[in-house]
Amino acid sequence: MKFIPKALSLAALLAATNSAYAATEISFWHSMEGTLGERVSEIVEGFNKSQSDYKVTATYKGNYGESMNAGIAAYRAGQAPDIIQVFEVGTATMMYSKGAIKPIQEMSEEAGNPIDPAKFVPGIAGYYSEASGKLASMPFNSSTPVFYYNKDLFAKAGLDVNNPPKTYQEIREAAKKLKAAGVECGYTTSWPSWVLVENFAALHNIPYASKNNGFAGLDARIDLTQDAFVKNFELLNEMSKEGTFTYAGRGDAGNALFSSGKCAMFTGSSGSRGSFVKNAKFEFGIDRLPYNSEIVDKPQNSVIGGASLWVFNKKSAETYKGITAFFHYLAGTDVAAKWHQDTGYVPVVKAAYEKTKESGFYEKNPGTDVPFLQLNVETTDASRGVRLGFLPQIRDIQEGEMEKIFSQKVSVKDSLAEMNKRDNELLARFENSNK
């Protein structure tokens, strides 16, 4: 029998023991940068410290579009991460990628630790659920657009800082007073298609597309030629001509106009609040999205934005157990409440809203409950949200046409008709490729 030195055999034993108890590594790709990225790192670090079986490693992979493209490329190369954050407009694409994704409720049930969709805000859980009602992805950073206003500029123009405009008509009148007071920009928006088309439709209970806005079938088609869309864009175009509305550009370009103090009124993501608190050198207020009083007397609900977490298929059972544990940690009342309070994103877990309310946070920070109140409404088929393929490209088309409208290069009706035509060509392509 060959002699094995005691020291060597002990080292080997320790190595084998450490190997047996090594934490399962879980990769998580996300698109949160700056302040939001810091908050994500805190959450991941908290989970890793809470147990020793799993270790989540979070990696920033660029903006939403870049991250999603990187995830698709990695999956095709057989190197997909375990978890990827995907913006809400990528939901239809992920839903129809059946072989690529592992539905999270199915995953958690198989892991013996089910995720209960009933604990989430209904409008959020419903958006990320399959037709069966089971969650396909994990609600995480859900946002909705809200109305921000600069209280300092309001005071300068003699406007009531505690009673902001509720309608587009009131915004127009307030912007005229702001302009007379020397304010450079009255009203602007970020994410123009999300705010002025998708949320406008939901707020006014108008169908954005057929087939329940795409939830009921691949053959959904958009209709932006309806009178309500024409009327509101005509109003905005008149405001653009008179200098009371400024089209800031695509995506979140409008954020800088507001945070710099140039623009007094702004519609944008509730998730921008944390950045404004940190960077804005003025006092601002938050209120509900404006509606067009010539179309409705009372607004319906807004719709979500932000992103959810998707899990790739063909991972190990132990990896799925770890992901399930991580998702339960994310949905914990304390963690979800802190994420909401730190960022301005909607509390996706109902208990997180109640905890935040009981803590007095909303009283100390007026308006921070607006996103939840806008979403915590029984939806209709027209206001549930939009689930369409190629939605990022559709938004690009729409915002390109808006640029033409507000630079007076094309009429509102002609531009909306062009949006319709090009949007629906994309939807036909998506339908044909996913039948």
DSSP state of 81: -
- Read off the pLDDT of residues 82-104 as tens digits, 9 standing for 90 and up: 999 999 999 999 998 878 999 99
189 and 268 Cβ atoms separated by less than 8 Å: yes
Strands (E) in 242-298, as ranges, are 263-269, 284-287
**What is the per-residue DSSP string for 82-132?**
SEEEEEGGGHHHHHT-TTTB--HHHHHHHTT----GGGB-HHHHHHTB-TT
DSSP state of 289: P
Q: What is the pLDDT of residue 123?
A: 81
Is residue 379 pLDDT above 50, yes or no? yes
Q: Where are the domains of the chain?
A: 6-143+305-364, 145-302+389-434
Q: What is the pLDDT of residue 4?
A: 46
Tell me how far CA of residue 158 lies from CA of 161, 178, 336, in angstroms: 9, 8, 39
Percent of the chain beyond pLDDT 70?
Answer: 95
Closest CA to 343 of 274, 277, 280, 259: 274
For residue 154, the SS3 value is helix
Q: What is the pLDDT of residue 326?
A: 98
- Read off the pLDDT of residues 155-197 as tens digits, 9 standing for 90 and up: 999 999 999 999 999 999 999 999 999 999 999 999 999 999 9
Query: Would you mind telling me the total number of residues written for the chain in this entry?
Result: 435
- Read off the pLDDT of residues 1-56 as tens digits, 9 standing for 90 and up: 444 444 456 555 555 555 456 899 999 999 999 889 999 999 999 999 999 999 99
Strand partners, 306: 142
- Read off the pLDDT of residues 320-370 as tens digits, 9 standing for 90 and up: 999 999 999 999 999 999 999 998 899 999 999 999 999 999 999 999 999
pTM of the model: 0.86
Separation of alpha carbons 153 and 161, rounded Å:
9
Q: What is the pLDDT of residue 98?
A: 77
- Read off the pLDDT of residues 388-415 as tens digits, 9 standing for 90 and up: 999 999 999 999 999 999 999 999 999 9
Same fold, 6-143+305-364 and 145-302+389-434: yes
191 and 304 Cβ atoms separated by less than 8 Å: no
Which CATH superfamily groups domain 6-143+305-364? Answer: Periplasmic binding protein-like II (3.40.190.10)
Q: What is the pLDDT of residue 2?
A: 44
Position with higher pLDDT, 7 vs 287: 287
Q: Which amino acid makes up residue 137?
A: S
**What number is the average pLDDT over the span 196-222?**
96
Closest CA to 225 of 197, 260, 252, 259: 197
Which CATH superfamily groups domain 145-302+389-434? Answer: Periplasmic binding protein-like II (3.40.190.10)
